[in-house]
Amino acid sequence: MNDVLDVALRLLVVFVVFLTFPLIVGQTEHKVMAHMQGRLGPMYAGGFHGWAQLVADGVKFAQKEDVVPAGADRRVFQLAPAVALLPYLLVLLAIPIGPSEGAVGQVIDAGVFFVLAVMGVGVLGSLMAGWASANKFSLLGGLRTAAQLLAYELPMLLAAASVAMAAGTVSLPGILDAFEWWWLPWQIVGAIVFFVAGLAELQRPPFDMPVADSEIIFGAYTEYTGLRFALFLLAEYAGIIVLCGLTTVLFLGGWHGPWGADGLGWVWTLLKTAVLAFIVIWLRVTYPRLREDQLQKLSWTLLVPLSLAQIALTGIVKVVIQ
């Protein structure tokens, strides 16, 4: 009975995190972008600095009519947002935030493979949406999504493999247990490759060619309205949380910090994740969108060789220190 309660409690906590953290990132994005652009952003909803803006947005989305285009493939069209969103919930289960046994939703033996595999499934949602909408802009968005995923999945995997080699395990808590501070300079190239490839997989600016609003309206999500559209947006922000959390755990040492690693490990994890999320927002405001061919070129001619070099470096250092 105690076990059941324990599992239920963990699932509940992960679910609450899944529902609230994306909203926090979204609100931060509103405010950070506004201040970087010399304006105030939402100021009225909720009273204090517009904190309830996203809640109001949510209510607005829930009120809107859920339209399915007449020519669309109904079932695939309606299923797509769930396929896009649920994988991130599953990934969140496997990310450890503290050193103790209880600080992770579920310890998974092959954690690195689990998170990368399940994150890859999320993109199927965009592809389903792009095809089932019966709209040529959606189709173009879906095509670009697929091309982008195929290009960036490889460097992301290779970068993660480098850390797994360094730690000698593919379990996420295991990697954190093996972490030393000097891994930071050692794995920095892999970290950057992982983060950039993850951004591209999330289709965040500057890699938002699949949803480029100035040319293909909103890519695969063009035909969506109401709650289903909101679910796609939620998937994007949940993706930011997952990507930043994973980068923290794999490359930045997760709960390791200069001090207070015993009781306050989870604070370090959250802090590092928040800083990375800030960088994600910062990049969106700073960089112009990469063109489709530049996107492909960046992955195949820069990120893949860099990640291979990182793997070679990891291997050499690993052999030398043994």
Partner 1 sequence: MTSAAATAHAVTLSAQGHGFLSPTGVEIAFLLVGLLTFGAALVTVTTRQLVHAALWLVVTLGGLAVEYLLLTAEFIAWVQVLIYVGSVVVLLLFGLMLTKAPIGRSPDADSGNRWAALTVAVAAAAALVWVVVDAFRTTWIDLDGAAAGSTEVTGASLFQNWVLPFEALSVLLLAALVGAIVLSRKAKAESSSPPVNSRAASGGSPSVPDSRNHPIEGTQPDGPQKPADPGAPAEQEGAR
- Contact predicate 190/115, CB 8 Å: no
Closest approach, Cβ 257 to partner 1, in A, equals 28
- Residue 39 or 101 with smaller CB distance to partner 1: 39
Render the burial of 248-265: b for 16+ CB within 10 Å, e for the rest. Answer: bbbbbbbbbbeeebeeeb
- Residue 117 or 267 with smaller CB distance to partner 1: 117
Closest approach, Cβ 190 to partner 1, in A, equals 18
- Residue 132 or 252 with smaller CB distance to partner 1: 132
Closest approach, Cβ 256 to partner 1, in A, equals 23
Closest approach, Cβ 60 to partner 1, in A, equals 19
What span, in angstroms and rounded, lies between the C-alpha atoms of 18 and 10?
12
- Contact predicate 145/127, CB 8 Å: yes
Closest approach, Cβ 156 to partner 1, in A, equals 11
What span, in angstroms and rounded, lies between the C-alpha atoms of 196 and 145?
16
Q: Is 48 exposed, middle or buried (0-12, 13-18, 19+ CB in 10 A)?
A: exposed
- Residue 118 or 238 with smaller CB distance to partner 1: 118
DSSP structural state of residue 291: P
The tokens for 287 are 């960089």
Residues that bind partner 1 in the complex, under the rule CB under 8 A: 33, 37-39, 71-73, 76, 108-110, 113-114, 116-118, 120-121, 123-124, 127-128, 130-132, 134, 136, 139-140, 142-144, 146-147, 149-150, 153, 157, 169-171, 205-206, 208-209, 212-216, 284-289, 291-294, 296-297
Helix, coil or strand: residue 264 = coil
Angle at 204 between CA 198 and CA 210, to 5 degrees: 105
A 10 A CB-CB count for 279 gives 15
Closest approach, Cβ 307 to partner 1, in A, equals 16
- Residue 216 or 231 with smaller CB distance to partner 1: 216
- Residue 5 or 47 with smaller CB distance to partner 1: 5
